[in-house]
Amino acid sequence: MNKELIVRSSSDAVDFALLKDGRLIELHKETEGFDFSVGDIFLAKIRKALPGLNAAFVNVGYEKDGFLHYHDLGPNVKTMLKFVKKATSNQMKNFSLRDFPFEQEIDKNGSIADTLHSNQSILVQVVKEPISTKGPRLSSELSLAGRYIVLVPFSDRVSVSQKIESKEEKSRLKRLVKSIKPKGFSVIIRTVAEGKKVADIDKDLQNLMKRWENMCRKLSKAHQPSKVLGELNKASSILRDIFNDSFTSICIDDDVIYTQIKDYVGKISPDKESIVSNYDSNVPIFEKYGIERQIKTSFGKTVTMKKGAYLVIEHTEAMHVIDVNSGNRSNKAKNQEDTALEVNMISATEIARQLRLRDMGGIIVVDFIDMNNPDNRRKLYEHLKDEMSDDRAKHKILPPSKFGLIQITRQRVRPEMNIKTREKDPNVDGEIEAPIVIVNKINVDLQKILKKGTKKITLTAHPFIAAYLMKGFPSPRSKWFFDSKKWVKIQPRDAYNYLEYHFYDHNGTLIKV
């Protein structure tokens, strides 16, 4: 498995595409001037506490107030409020928390009105970016994420990622961290810390402590509200969370970002610094790696897959709904049950990719093709869980219901990635699918016709589409010939709509696909 990170920079945004064996699995955009990213910490003011919601609205400088629920305060919020009051009034010089007296923990079933009041200064962290008409979702239980650990101030525990399965390794890491952990801070040991030495983790810890102290020094001079600690830039935060030995290439088309990423990779994994390269070509970087084509074919309502199967993805007010279709295809499977299993397994892989790619959150209901064999249903369920194991967003998958439905909940922390794939119709006033999507459909239909053994094939299409299929070397038509050893005759038809096409056999009879 090879992973590549491709970074494209423009005047107002930076796009990050994560490829797995050449296939696009994640797409992120960092826009200039957007100041509310997950992980950012703000010095804010309580606007008002609402006992009915057991929550408070907080002024963080966004057009809509942030939402802070009682359960997101953290048990030691009173200690944090006392710390903020002293730090903002310039009464503190040492921010280590070693000698800072802790207040009594709040009751987990208490009321927001007993803890917070209007105009109170508070440190909050963005846990969900503004979505639609809602302001950011906040937490006052702060955390600073590093490469190997997460540092949590105003607490005093050590916990280990559940993804580390070895009990011996968990015990080793706990002992190691307890020996270096500063008083007044909790430490969460991340999965990538497995097998690491004390020097690596201690270096990470010292970097986080420096970030904490630098943030605290700003509090006495900071305006309220204002950002006092920003999350790493998008490239660094992506690499911090997912970078591992399977990465084979990081390619960037911007000199400044290239230098930033090369320096960051040099710090976290010096032996991998050589895979970072600066892209310099007249061909746009996303075109070079086939990303533009994948974006156009992956974000529409209908997503085609191999062997003729396809997904229909729709969004309702309450949830996302995904329908699995086998398509009109010839199949070598022995029976309907085998066909259903084959299509469902292909679909599960694509669904896991689509959830990450679109960053779909909330409730997702998938209507798989019905299977009678309980072993097949179990096999599908395990396969879907395995495919989603790399997904960084918290998620839960329920086993298939009697109706073949699988329900998924997936954490939503930022707006869903929504890319317009339809384009203006040059023939009439309206919109059509992107031409590249139609070229893919032509490929799929041609493969079905070739399987039938049709001797001579003629394709009629709009002159624009016909020209595209015949241009260059190797042209799409040439590739068909190299793959199937059959030459497809292409005839332009001026009377056709832009995306209309038909296949005919040697007798001039229309071939129904």
Is the full-model pTM beyond 0.95? no
Q: What is the pLDDT of residues 99-139, one digit of tens each?
A: 899 999 999 889 999 999 999 999 999 998 887 778 899 99
Same domain, 212 and 71: yes
Same domain, 78 and 206: yes
CA dist 427 → 459, 494, 500 (Å): 21, 11, 12
Same domain, 124 and 216: yes
Q: What is the pLDDT of residues 342-391, one digit of tens each?
A: 999 999 999 999 999 888 888 999 999 988 889 999 999 999 999 998 88
Give the mean pLDDT of the chain.
86
Query: What is the reported pLDDT for 143?
Result: 93
- Per-residue confidence band for 36, with pLDDT thresholds at 50, 70 and 90: confident
Same domain, 221 and 344: no
Decide if 420 is inside a domain. Answer: no
Query: What is the reported pLDDT for 428?
Result: 58
Decide if 158 is inside a domain. Answer: yes
Strand, coil or helix: what is 194? coil
Same domain, 98 and 206: yes
- Side-chain half-sphere CA neighbours of 241 within 13 A: 15
Query: What is the reported pLDDT for 306?
Result: 77
Contacts of 283 (CB under 8 A, 6+ apart): none
Asked if residue 79 lies in contact with residue 154, where contact means CB atoms within 8 angstroms, the answer is: yes
Decide if 418 is inside a domain. Answer: no
Tell me which of 365, 393, 410 is where a domain ends: 410
For residue 14, the domain's CATH number is 3.30.420
Query: What is the reported pLDDT for 348?
Result: 94
Residue listed under structure tokens 């970074």: 7
Query: What is the reported pLDDT for 384?
Result: 95
> Does the structure show a pLDDT above 70 at 252?
yes
Mean pLDDT of 243-260: 86
Same domain, 257 and 224: no
CB-neighbour burial class of residue 440 (10 A; exposed 0-12, middle 13-18, buried 19+)? middle
For residue 467, the domain's CATH number is 3.40.1260.20
Decide if 424 is inside a domain. Answer: no
Same domain, 283 and 323: no
Contacts of 484 (CB under 8 A, 6+ apart): 450
Same domain, 455 and 467: yes
**Nearest Cα to Cα of residue 224 among 46, 96, 420:** 46
Asked if residue 72 lies in contact with residue 141, where contact means CB atoms within 8 angstroms, the answer is: yes
Strand, coil or helix: what is 50? strand
Same domain, 62 and 118: yes
Decide if 417 is inside a domain. Answer: no
| Structural domain of 142 | 40-229
Decide if 184 is inside a domain. Answer: yes
Q: Which two three-digit tokens encode residue 98?
A: 């070693």
- Per-residue confidence band for 43, with pLDDT thresholds at 50, 70 and 90: very high
> Does the structure show a pLDDT above 60 at 447?
yes
> Does the structure show a pLDDT above 60 at 2?
yes
Same domain, 60 and 153: yes
**Nearest Cα to Cα of residue 44 among 104, 106, 123:** 123
Rounded CA separation 445/237 (Å): 42
* DSSP H or E stretch at residue 246: none
- Per-residue confidence band for 32, with pLDDT thresholds at 50, 70 and 90: low
Percent of the chain clearing pLDDT 90 (strictly above): 41
> Does the structure show a pLDDT above 90 at 170?
yes
CB atoms within 10 A of CB 431: 12
> Does the structure show a pLDDT above 60 at 333?
no
Same domain, 26 and 50: no
Decide if 263 is inside a domain. Answer: yes
Q: Which of 179-188, 269-278, 292-301 has the lowest mean pLDDT?
A: 292-301
The domain tally of the chain equals 4
Q: Which of 159-163, 312-316, 493-497 has the lowest mean pLDDT?
A: 493-497
Rounded CA separation 357/25 (Å): 5
Mean pLDDT of 59-63: 89
Mean pLDDT of 218-222: 88
Asked if residue 460 lies in contact with residue 497, where contact means CB atoms within 8 angstroms, the answer is: no
137-139/121-128 β-pairing: antiparallel
Same domain, 192 and 45: yes
> Does the structure show a pLDDT above 60 at 331?
no
Query: What is the reported pLDDT for 330?
Result: 47
- Side-chain half-sphere CA neighbours of 301 within 13 A: 6
For residue 345, the domain's CATH number is 3.40.630
Strand, coil or helix: what is 240? helix
Tell me which of 208, 229, 250 is where a domain ends: 229
> Does the structure show a pLDDT above 60 at 421?
no
Decide if 429 is inside a domain. Answer: no
Query: What is the reported pLDDT for 349?
Result: 94
Three-class HEC string of 332-389? CCCCHHHHHHHHHHHHHHHHHHHHHHHCCCEEEEEECCCCCCHHHHHHHHHHHHHHCC
For residue 87, the domain's CATH number is 2.40.50.140
Biggest CA pair distance of the chain:
92
Q: What is the pLDDT of residues 71-97, one digit of tens each?
A: 999 999 999 999 999 999 888 888 888
